Amino acid sequence: MTQPTPAPTQASTSPAQFPVAERLAEIVGERHVLSRPSELLVYNSDGLPGYRRQPRLAVFPGTREETVAVVRLLAAEGLSFVPRGAGTGLSGGALADDIVVIGLHRLKKIISLDVANRRATVEPGVVNLRLNKHVAPHGLLYAPDPSSEAACTIGGNVAENAGGPHCLKYGVTLNHVLAITVLLPSGEVVELGSKVGERDGYDLRGAFIGSEGCFGLALDITVKLTPKPQTVRTLLADFTSIDQAAHVTSAIIASGIVPAALEFMDGPTIRVVEDSIYAASYPRDAEAILLIELDGLEAGVSADLEAVRRICLDGGARNVKVARDDAERMKLWQGRKKAFGAMGRLAPHLIVQDAVIPRTRLPEILATIRAISEKYGVVVCNVFHAGDGNLHPNIAYSADDPAESERVHKAMTEIMQACIDAGGSITGEHGVGLDKMGYMEAIFSESSLNAMCELRAVFDPERRSNPGKVVPVHACKEWHAVPGGRLRTGTSSLTDAPEPRPVEAEPSHPSAR
């Protein structure tokens, strides 16, 4: 649509001041380049709006050819950029600090579906749930199912190596991507992986998945599709103590049964979901529930169902309910998957962490989290992938209250430290982005961080794709060896060379909105 846009009345950036904006508009059309600060505001955050970075320009290519042309133009100009999908990420990974955002949400074609070989090739902007709806009539599914599946894109899933409840049994994005056509920041197009199966040589596809937009962007992605299981059963076990639910989780895993999903929600989370339109008839007075899904062949599932029910009851479950039909199953799952969004009912701002801990330490860590939340007087809502020990402590708070923000920040930092001390990692599926960069040096050695920098240099030697994320720049040995550091790549026709700024490491810090 070519809506006539009246001249801006307030201080703003006209395309004439930025020749590159005009040239981008020649590629993608005027409507798909944003340069006015007021229109760029909504692109200053992702799903974790405690972090805000204002981009300089946003460009939304509509085809593969346009995308290649955009990246080549930026390469020729030496401009840095950040690829962005649906902006549902939870680590500040898609934020562009005074550089160009390349929105890939318009690339939403499902290019091909090969039912016999169970694979599909999609553009990066295809929404996860849309792919699943497209393949469902053929008895197939795309297994990785992040809770944001109704909004997030496959391209974003690849960038973050996204997980989801069902990754306990089926594996994460990495296990379901066969091949990627990658557009390197230089503008070169390369094929990583193979649509037909394993090839010899280094697994560069594996390196690209989870690279958080730092290695370039995907033009198309070939994914593996999974046959729908013959039988699916979903159980809801409720407990009057968090500790019991945590021990039952460990007991189920120890029994050797591999559930398709094993999810944990605590009392505050249950109540916030029950207040929302996704109310799933979870018992409001429970202190914890486990949502357990078993799938496979009918005979095996029935046996496992009985075993899991017994473990829950023996472990102190008050009730174990089995969903009667698909409608009830979907309702139980919708409550779980929309829990994050429902936290807005508690307070205007939210931070969430993504630590992974050894599953045997679950009871002890949950007790520690409770103690920390009491110490700082904050309410932690725990809703997480218990089966693989991937915690998601959420704290709802008001960033307008500096004292509260400070307490929340301290509580989150202590929670993360406790997870690290327990032998855990800082992110299971949300990515490092901006949010967790400050913890990188706590869990990786200098030589590991250097190796990461060197790997990145293979894909993006000029560090123009999503600069300032994942690995703190000061941790890179060879970075210090380059005279001018960030200045060199930050220099552009967009702007006078800015002073190189230290990359902020504000772990979990909810900078005031």
Partner 1 sequence: MPGCALAGTPLADALPGINACVHCGFCLQACPTYLTLEDENDSPRGRIFLMRSLLEGTVKPDDPSVQQHIDQCLGCRACEPVCPSGVPYGQLLEATRATLREYRSTPFIARAILFVFAREWLLRPAMFFSRILAATPIPTLLSGIKGRLGFAMAMLASTGRSIERSRYQPVTRGERGSVATLRGCVMDGLFSETNRATRRVLAVNGYAIVAAPGQSCCGALHAHAGDLETARSLARRNIAAFGHSGAEFIAVNAAGCGAIMKEYGHLLKDDAEWHERAASMSARVRDVSELLAAAGPREGGPLPIRVTYDAPCHLEHAQRVTQAPFSVLAAIPGLELVPLHDSDQCCGSAGIYNLIEPETSDAVLAPKLANIRATGAPWVATGNPGCLMQIGAGLIRAEIPARAIHPVDLLDASYAAFGQ
CB 211 within 8 A of CB 459: yes
Angle (nearest 5°) at CA 467 between 464 and 471: 130
Which segment (289-297, 347-355, 362-370, 424-432) binds partner 1 by CB under 8 A?
347-355
* Residue from 278, 318, 328, 500 binding partner 1 (CB under 8 A): 278
Rounded distance between C-alpha atoms, residue 336 and residue 125, angstroms = 25
**Pairing mode, if any, of strands 393-397 and 349-352?**
antiparallel
Structure-block tokens of residue 303? 């046996």
Q: Which is nearer to partner 1, 329 or 349 (CB)?
A: 349
Contact flag: residue 508 with partner 1 (CB under 8 A): no
* Residue from 206, 348, 461, 502 binding partner 1 (CB under 8 A): 348
Tracing tokens 């999908």 back to the chain, one arrives at 85
Contact flag: residue 7 with partner 1 (CB under 8 A): yes
Contact flag: residue 10 with partner 1 (CB under 8 A): yes
- The DSSP output letter for 300 is H
Q: Which residues, other chains included, contact 480 with Cβ-Cβ below 8 Å and sequence gap of 6+?
A: 474
* Residue from 276, 413, 448, 450 binding partner 1 (CB under 8 A): 276
* Residue from 21, 24, 27, 34 binding partner 1 (CB under 8 A): 34
* Residue from 100, 127, 182, 419 binding partner 1 (CB under 8 A): 127
Q: Which residues, other chains included, contact 368 with Cβ-Cβ below 8 Å and sequence gap of 6+?
A: 415, 418
Tracing tokens 């020729």 back to the chain, one arrives at 76
Rounded distance between C-alpha atoms, residue 366 and residue 382, angstroms = 9
* Residue from 150, 190, 307, 313 binding partner 1 (CB under 8 A): 150
- The DSSP output letter for 251 is H
Question: Rule CB under 8 A: which of 236-275 touch partner 1?
Answer: 273, 275
Contact flag: residue 344 with partner 1 (CB under 8 A): yes
Minimum CB distance to partner 1, residue 66 (Å)? 13
Minimum CB distance to partner 1, residue 92 (Å)? 12
Q: Which is nearer to partner 1, 41 or 254 (CB)?
A: 41
* Residue from 20, 47, 146, 246 binding partner 1 (CB under 8 A): 47
Q: Which is nearer to partner 1, 351 or 418 (CB)?
A: 351
Q: How far is CA 347 from the centre of its chain?
A: 22
Instruction: Determine the size of the site formed for partner 1 (CB under 8 A).
Output: 57
Rounded distance between C-alpha atoms, residue 42 and residue 39, angstroms = 7
Contact flag: residue 88 with partner 1 (CB under 8 A): yes
Tracing tokens 């706590």 back to the chain, one arrives at 442
Single-letter amino acid code for the residue at 26: E
Question: Rule CB under 8 A: which of 301-340 touch partner 1?
Answer: 338-340
Contact flag: residue 148 with partner 1 (CB under 8 A): yes
Contact flag: residue 130 with partner 1 (CB under 8 A): yes
* Residue from 38, 112, 319, 493 binding partner 1 (CB under 8 A): 38
Single-letter amino acid code for the residue at 88: T
Pick the closest to residue 245 from 323, 321, 317, 168 (CA basis). 317
249 torsion bin: left (phi>0), alpha (psi -120 to 50), beta (else): alpha
Binding footprint of partner 1 on the chain (CB under 8 A): 1-3, 5-10, 31-32, 34, 36, 38-39, 41-43, 45-49, 60, 62, 86-88, 103, 105-106, 127, 129-130, 148, 150-152, 273, 275-278, 338-345, 347-350, 400, 513
